[in-house]
Structure 1
Amino acid sequence: MASSDGSPGAMPSGDSPTPGKPMTVGSKMLDKGAQMMQSLKPVKQMQQHVCTFALYSHDLTRQIETHHFVTRLNQDFLQCAVYDSDASSGRLIGVEYIVTDRIFEALPPEEQKLWHSHAYEIKAGLWVNPRVPEMVQQTELQNLAKTYGKFWCTWQVDRGDPLPLGAPSLMVSPQAVNLGMVKPEMVQRRDDKYGISSEYLKQSRVELPEPEWINPQADYWKQSGKGFAIDIEQIGMKLKAPFP
């Protein structure tokens, strides 16, 4: 059984290189040829890059900068491939699903506990579309402020994991409470990278409409003081026929 943080054991913190040999010329040629001949339709539907922050639901002291590459399936449902950076060497560390309040309200109460709200994250200037003018984002931000997300982290690079290890971890959104606030040095580092000011964005979004009501089942940890962790255990397989 894995530990409660989804790992088989303690790992050193920091950024570790991914194990493996350098790309060969043959592999590069194959990838380039496949890229020219295949449609890659799902990937090409990623239309937005969002940079924000996330916290581990079972350990709010662990916080990461995240880069979401967003696909809009329809007006009520977004899906995001989440990376640890926007560089070409960025590592895929998880997936987030985002739904409007209309869809969220139809979910069972126990399911709602796995989701987080986005209103504070957006109003606080933490959620940004790098290099996209703020005025261009206004309508999108108004819509996103009323959404909820479920984010599973599959690769805990913040603790130095060289590979995706253990079970996925449920992540939560920054909130306006002591334990749910992002470390200022992380925000400053992100702001310096993109030449923005989260504080300025916060002030410019003061008039952004807020949801009339945020379901208390979301951001469950705020009411309960408890997060979620997945343990891995062996169970019997369901088979059409027993092994001989």
Structure 2
Amino acid sequence: MASSDEIPGVMPGEGPTAGKPMTVGSQMLDKGTQMLQSLKPVKQMQQHVCTFGLYSHDMNRQIETHHFVTRLSQDFLQCAVYDSDDSNARLIGVEYIVSDKIFANLSPDEQKLWHSHGYEIKSGIWLNPRVPEMLQKTELRNLAKTYGKFWCTWQVDRGDVLPLGAPALMMSPQGVNLGMVKEELLQKRNKKYKVSSEDLIKSRVDIEEPELINKNADYWKNAGKGFAIDIEESDMKRNAPFP
């Protein structure tokens, strides 16, 4: 199955997610294990970012995304991506973010899978909900020079109640033609968090954009082509038997 726009058939269960509602027993089990286990990786998530993702193979398909960010080093961030910031949010993908220094050392073919963040930051599309702009200004300056690779594993906008098929590569918003975020999506997000795109743009006018965005990033802008993933049957690799 390709990462396509094809709408899936009949799904098990009702509502946005397959399966029955959680029982009281399951809820009690979760509460108990939460008190006993460390959950260290989850507790390292220190930022919530709300932005938008565009499907590489069909950039007319655009979704609001919520990234919960862990910093592994000054040059590398990893994000668990959800479809909302509600308690019942669905985990729909993962994004990795690297500095321009790391990106420059990737192979050209690898670079084509990544997108830039400069426009996303400067235009106010990238938002840390409920965090004052002055608090995050230093972080935004650094992020404007980064690159991200985002794989969507659950195409909720297609109506899927399960993560189906191959993952889809996502692109970031850009200030040209297909990269523009639909106005209705942006206004809905801004209304939810009580922000103004115009105010965000003004507050970020002093953030410097990268002097040169690598031409292999945002590959669609130069090539007019995106990427879609197919799943195909393959012979299994078999290791030689142990002596």
TM-score range, shorter chain: over 0.9
Helix, strand or coil for the counterpart of 2:50? strand
Map 1:54-69 onto structure 2 (within 5 A). 54-69=53-68
Corresponding position of 1:78 = 77
Corresponding position of 2:8 = 11
- Sort the Cα spacing of 1:75 and 1:45 in 2 relative to 1 into closer, same or farther, 3 A: same
Corresponding position of 1:88 = 87
2:156 matched to 1:157?
yes
1:203 CA drift (Å): 1.8
Q: Distance in 1 between matches of 2:40 and 2:3?
A: 37
Q: Distance in 2 between matches of 1:11 and 1:236?
A: 27
Corresponding position of 1:175 = 174
- Kept in 2, the 8 Å contact 1:52–1:65? The answer is yes
Q: Distance in 2 between matches of 1:203 and 1:223?
A: 29
1:202 CA drift (Å): 1.0
Structure 2 stretches lacking a partner, 5+ long: none
Give the TM-score taking structure 1 as reference length. Answer: 0.94
Question: What's the CA shift string for 1:125-184, capped at 9, x where partnerless?
Answer: 000100000011100000000000000000000010110000000000000101110000
User: For residue 128 of structure 1, what is the amino acid of its counterpart?
Assistant: L
- Kept in 1, the 8 Å contact 2:3–2:168? The answer is no
Helix, strand or coil for the counterpart of 1:211? coil
Q: Distance in 1 between matches of 2:227 and 2:58?
A: 9
The size of the alignment, in residue pairs, is 237
Task: State, as a whole percentage, how many aligned pairs show the same letter.
Answer: 74
Corresponding position of 2:125 = 126
- Kept in 1, the 8 Å contact 2:3–2:165? The answer is no
Corresponding position of 1:30 = 29
2:144 matched to 1:145?
yes
Give the TM-score taking structure 2 as reference length. Answer: 0.94
Corresponding position of 2:235 = 236
Q: Distance in 2 between matches of 1:124 and 1:115?
A: 19
Q: Distance in 2 between matches of 1:71 and 1:234?
A: 35
- Sort the Cα spacing of 1:31 and 1:150 in 2 relative to 1 into closer, same or farther, 3 A: same
Corresponding position of 1:219 = 218
- Sort the Cα spacing of 1:37 and 1:110 in 2 relative to 1 into closer, same or farther, 3 A: same
Helix, strand or coil for the counterpart of 2:67? strand
Structure 1 stretches lacking a partner, 5+ long: none
Q: Distance in 2 between matches of 1:35 and 1:184?
A: 40
Two-structure CA RMSD over aligned residues (Å): 1.5
Q: Distance in 2 between matches of 1:207 and 1:225?
A: 31
Question: What's the CA shift string for 1:24-59, capped at 9, x where partnerless?
Answer: 122111111110010000000000000001100000
1:235 CA drift (Å): 0.5
Helix, strand or coil for the counterpart of 1:128? coil
2:15 matched to 1:21?
no
1:4 CA drift (Å): 4.8
1:241 CA drift (Å): 6.2
Question: What's the CA shift string for 1:85-112, capped at 9, x where partnerless?
Answer: 0000100000000000000000000000
Q: Distance in 1 between matches of 2:71 and 2:3?
A: 33
